[in-house]
Amino acid sequence: MKGTIPARFKMIYGIVFLLIISTTAWLSYLSSKGSLEGQLKNTNIALLHLVQQKIEMILREIDTNTINFIQEPEVAFVLNGRYTNDEMRFSHFNVLNTKFKVLMNANSNISSFYLYSIQKKSMLTDNTFADEADFYDMDWLPAFNNMQRYHQWLDVRQITTVSSGLQLDKNVISLVRQFPLISNPQFRKGAIIVNIDERTVANLMEDVDKQRLGQTMVINEQGMIISSKDKAQLYKPFGSIESAPALDKLQGSGYITKKVRDGSYTTFYVSSQYNGWKYISIVPNPVMNRPLEMVRNILLSIAAGMFIVAIILVYAVSSYTFRPLERFFQAFAGKKIDRHDDLTYLEKFFKQMMSDNESLQKQMHESLPALKWRLIMSLLMADKTNYNRMRKYFDMLGIHFYDSRFVVLVIELDRKQHIASPRDVYLFTYAISNVAEELVAGVCKGVSVEVNDGVVAVIMSFEEDDPQGNQLQALQIADLVRNYVAEHFKQTVTIGVGSPHLQLEGIHESYKEAQNAMKYRLIMGDNTVISIEDVAGNHNDKFYRIWAMSDTIVGLIRDTDKSKLEIQLEKLFDETIKSNVPPEMIKQMCIQLIMKSIKAISDKGLDIKQFLDPKENIYTHIDSCANVEDIRKYISAFLQELIIRTEEKRESKSPSDTVNRIISYLEHNYMDSNLSLNLIASDFHLSVPYLSKLFKETMEMNFMDYLIHIRMEKSKQLLRDPKLKINAIAEQVGYNNAQSFIRIFKKYTGQTPGEYRENPADEKRCID
């Protein structure tokens, strides 16, 4: 027995350890292989996106510089041929030559730059003036003549320039932009042509190729190579590369693997919406899979080392455990051994392993708030990160956003230095963050974060793409937070409100605007809500007034007020004519008015396709009108039809009894400044999302807009009494802060309370 038990122990446990270690290593390799392959492919696509962003940033900057340059008055003189004598012509040429050089010095990516006058059939560069027939580079002209858009990036082409008596061949990519900037092709007066060296684009791609073997290139929509590190590939079709996949398979962004005679290749591709180019990277699979081979070799080495250690441990443990095992078998056989060794240390080992596992899970759970804080701060601070990758962690961290517009609030405790202790400041900050997040949940989706002691940032996201309505709801939430803190915490806060922005990238801009608004606390005092609109100023009062009138028209369509609609349309077109608005701008304004009206009615559930003639093109119809009166008649008929359809749909709907009781409740309690969707849901024993959806479907507007409507209509009645002060009226309709009341009243009516009191007949309702 003594000779057989250790041998069996070593053999059995050696085999067990070998199976466990080899199986674990193999499963680890298989589990990590898929994720690592995905990471490698995502990394290559991310590198292509980075190249695309860098290249398009340069192209957009050049386009912006070109737009600014073409608006110079001297450009109009040269391209229109308005000079009356040679002296005036040379004077303008000299000025333009100077501006040519300034622009080229300011943007080192511009290789050459010249103007083309259709009327004079002449070319002007930074150092020469020549006729079209004598100019060395006119290859771009056919593309310009056939160009239907306002600008176009041309494919790579070769031009020959003369410098210091030497002829230089250069591959360039050209931007052609028409003059005037916005006009039909038959009204063009000329063009501006900007050339950039193809090597500028190729050098940006070369930075990626240095990180791994492979080649990166840019192709156009027809599959011609327009930029590559290998200049021999220029002007050739993409299909001429043996490892290249078919062009029709390169849709959007992704990757395709193809096997050829000399091996297997993976082609990564990204499509540009800016100019239609495709960014291609072809990588040999052995090179791309090299990290997988390294992981496999490392796992094999670790497995071999673990097996050696396991064998050593088996021999060591067998020496210490032989006596207890032998005592066990001899006791089973009716014999006894005097030694008292046992295997209790194994029990301690497993208990410690379980304890470590529980401790690790606890640490992971405790780290989630820190991860959430770090992610939100990255959004606010615009850290250089991948927003699409960031979205994957939102659900895990309990962050829920709509994909439309975002508004940021910055809430700061007033007089923090007067609060008893830093711990109290921390507790107030934590409480304000929770209150703000709960109030936001009653209106939209959002999240709050404690930026530092005494400062909270709130990110609000809205389902509807309605900037003005979203801004108004953000201001209302800010007022609720301020009132709640004053009533329950006996403290005051100042709140800065940014403007709505699209996508996650806009959160940083709204946060900066909210911070800039907070700086005006020095002027406006503590315990105030300061919107960026309050301090941004108005740079174009004339057009703001016209667009405000168009917003009023949309409001009348929602209210189905046909008589006031006709009056407001008359005012809009009279004001447009008095302001000498160009015809093209009038047409664009009318198209925008129709689009906003269609969206407003669609939000109420009306299917516009039911009465719109699919053969009728609104753009063509407006463009074909001979005068403004024809446009007005068409707009009037179209909007009247919208109202008729809305009234028919409204008559077919039956109001909800629950909503009727809520409306009655609001009519009697609108003066409560703490009134919110959360409070109503609690009083009527309903969930906030259900109540919000029910109210919107029945009333064709959300809860906050309807509450504002009630308060504003009541305030208009009170303003008819000249003895009542504005502050008293604000309190009577549920606003503890007169400034907030004045701001919302002006957005609703287009006038301040004082202006409305003096001229109630001139009301211009602005809220959508």
The two structure tokens encoding residue 94: 């000299």
pLDDT in the model for residue 208:
64
Query: Of 33-47, 369-383, 456-470, which one has max mean pLDDT?
Result: 456-470
Element (H, E) at 216: strand 215-219
Residue 114's φ and ψ, nearest 5 degrees, are: -150, 160
Is residue 90 over pLDDT 80? no
H runs (alpha helix) in 262-338? 285-288, 290-332
Which ranges in 166-289 belong to alpha helices (H)?
A: 198-209, 285-288
Band of residue 611 on the pLDDT scale cut at 50, 70, 90: low
Contact present, 114 and 99 (Cβ < 8 Å): no
Sign of the Cα pseudo-torsion (164, 167, 169, 174, in order): positive
Give me the pLDDT at residue 1, please: 40
Angle between helices 738-749 and 467-484 (to 10 degrees): 160
Q: Picking from 27-31, 245-249, 517-521, 653-657, which range would have the lowest pLDDT averaged per residue?
A: 653-657
Rounded distance between C-alpha atoms, residue 471 and residue 462, angstroms? 10
What is the average pLDDT across 648-660?
67
Q: Contact, 481 vs 439, CB < 8 A?
A: yes
Q: From its phi and psi, is residue 116 left (phi > 0), alpha (psi between -120 and 50) or beta? A: beta
Q: How confident is the model at residue 159 (pLDDT cuts 50, 70, 90)?
A: confident
d(CA 132, CA 116): 8
Among 22-31, 310-319, 738-747, the range of highest mean pLDDT: 738-747
Mean pLDDT, residues 505-531 taken together:
81
Give the bridge partners for 458, in sequence order: 409, 448
> Who has greater pLDDT, 539 or 537?
537
Q: How confident is the model at residue 345 (pLDDT cuts 50, 70, 90)?
A: very low
User: What is the mean predicted confidence (pLDDT) over 463-482?
Assistant: 87
Whether the pLDDT of residue 462 is over 60: the answer is yes
Measured CA to CA, the distance from residue 506 to residue 517 in angstroms comes to 17
- Which comes out higher in pLDDT, residue 156 or 210? 156
Are the C-beta atoms of 45 and 252 separated by less than 8 Å?
no
How does pLDDT run across 126-142, given as a tens digit for each residue? 777 888 888 888 888 99
What are the DSSP calls for 504-530, one per residue? TTHHHHHHHHHHHHHTTHHHH-SS-EE
Q: Which residue has the higher pLDDT, 653 or 460?
A: 460
**Residue 502 forms beta bridges with which residues?**
405
Question: Which of 555-564, 596-605, 665-674, 680-689 has the highest mean predicted lDDT (pLDDT)?
Answer: 665-674
- Of 450-459, 528-537, 604-613, 682-691, the range with the highest mean pLDDT is 450-459
pLDDT digits 0-9 by tens, 37-58: 777 788 888 888 888 888 889 8
Least confident of 354-368, 622-636, 701-715, 739-753: 354-368
Q: Which of residues 719 and 649 earns the better pLDDT score?
A: 719
Q: What does the pLDDT look like over 394-408, one tens digit per residue?
A: 777 778 888 778 999
Return the minimum-mean-pLDDT range out of 4-8, 266-270, 707-711.
4-8
What is the structure's pLDDT at 710? 92
Per-residue confidence band for 346, with pLDDT thresholds at 50, 70 and 90: very low
Q: How confident is the model at residue 655 (pLDDT cuts 50, 70, 90)?
A: low
The per-residue pLDDT for range 443-453, each reduced to its tens digit, is: 888 999 998 88
- Say if residues 531 and 746 touch (Cβ distance below 8 Å): no
Can you tell me the distance from the alpha carbon of 429 to that of 435, in angstroms, rounded to the nearest whole number? 10
Round to whole Å and give the CA distance between 408 and 511. 5
Mean pLDDT over 145-163 rounds to 84
- In this predicted structure, the answer to whether residue 247 has a pLDDT above a threshold of 50 is yes
Looking at residue 305, its pLDDT comes to 81
Instruction: Return the half-sphere exposure (C-beta side, CA atoms, 13 A cut-off) of residue 234.
Output: 19
β-strand 110-117 against 190-197: which pairing, if any?
Answer: antiparallel
pLDDT of residue 456: 93
Instruction: Identify the pLDDT of residue 83.
Output: 64
- Rounded to the nearest integer, the mean pLDDT of the chain is 79
